[in-house]
Amino acid sequence: MINYFITWALKNRIIVLLIAAAVTAYGIYAVKNTPVDAIPDLSENQVIIFTEWMGRNPQIIEDQITYPLVSNLQGIPKVKNIRANSMFGMSFVFVIFDDDTDIYWARTRVLERLNYAQRLLPEGIIPTLGPDGTGLGHVYWYTLDAPGYDLGELRALQDWYVRFALQTVDGVSEVASFGGFQRQYQVVVDPNKLRYHNIPLMEVAGKIKANNNDVGGRKFEQSDIGYIIKGSGYIKNIKEIENIPLKTINSVPVRIKDVATVQMGGELRLGIIDENGEGEKVGGIVVMRYGENAKDVIGRIKEKLPDIEKGLPPGVKFKTAYDRANLIDATISTLKEAVIGEIIVVAIVLFIFLLHVRSALIVVITIPISVLISFIMMSWFDITSNIMSLAGVALAVGDLVDAGIVMVENAMKSISGEED
């Protein structure tokens, strides 16, 4: 069979060259379109369900949120395991699917079950799906370099401007904010004053909620001009909260400021973000969408940052904290150096020992073509170009060179013997 194939190749050189050219062109296309990352993604195929119920202890979270969700998510097709974690104010449920399951099919199935399970949760609690990314999706971290700005201002800037702008980048699943203070109005109630005025605590919360709302009116026409009537009721400052009435005693209104202190503060924090011991920082983590090319996504993020920076306040700039593109470039550079070095060494060795340029050229040509064929196979089997797969290609090239040298040397001996 091998002899027949070699004979056919020798008799049809043009066809062989055309096949080699086609393989080379397809291989170059595969190299450009194969997803590139620094390390292989070995994370499990999972869908994360996040539920927030602030102020509740882990036991209540476990009993009223985590357990009902886990119980009703049982029975989804292709599920290997369901794990859960309950902590202060938050619940996480991890639904692990088979490795060959399409991630978006899995997310759809989980959403179908959540529509049913949500009726078992406390009123107003809405579970949400985590980003459609993997554990290695954190491809780019940044901080906001802003001397003179407080952490609350920077966190508000990150949450309400930068995060939304970066989420429009193609291939980005989520931008997670970190650091700083999430600003909020805080009403510190005095229980003794509540008891004195006989006002329940839940009534205070209800009055604040009822007085923080816009309402729609109707269309009013006058002199052939239509006016849209609405009632503006959103809270804009601390004083408006302080003057919200709770009840009336002997024609005297009891307001929020009579039973509580209103202040602007930050949400409860469980940790801080420090950069190189220089103090707290505010920034974000860009999470890449499942199956995307990490290098291309990072490139699009870097192209977007200058446009976003134009809308930032004076003195606020982006500072890169982690960029996986550097590691990806180093990985690709290592492969290039290995392949080019092997080609040069092989060419020199063959020329010195065989003193035949065409024989050396045969082995040298097989190296890049074999690498391109490897990328074609990686593209077919959805294998990303990473430090493991590229290292395997580099090692395999060494074995290929050994075999090529042996075969060419034997062929030269055979030809020399026939000529003698």
The pLDDT tens digits for 322-372 are: 998 888 888 778 777 877 777 777 777 777 776 677 777 777 787 788 888
- Length of the chain, please? 420
- Does 371 or 161 have the greater pLDDT score? 161
- Domains of the chain listed by start with CATH number: 2-35+328-419 (1.20.1640.10), 44-132 (3.30.70.1430), 184-266 (3.30.2090.10)
- For residues 53-75, one letter each, b for 16 or more C-beta atoms within 10 angstroms of the residue's C-beta and e for the rest, the string is beebeeebbbebbbebbbebbee
| Chain position carrying tokens 């052939």 | 224
User: Per-residue pLDDT averaged across 34-56, rounded?
Assistant: 84
Residue 418 confidence class, pLDDT cut points 50, 70, 90: low
Whose structure tokens read 């989980």?
110
β-pair partners for 79: 97
Q: Give the integer Cα–Cα distance in Å for 166 and 302.
A: 10
Q: Classify residue 351 as exposed, middle or buried by CB count within 10 Å of its CB (0-12, 13-18, 19+).
A: middle
**Predicted confidence (pLDDT) per residue in 74-126, tens digit:** 889 999 999 999 998 899 999 999 988 888 999 999 998 888 888 888 888 88
pLDDT at 165: 92
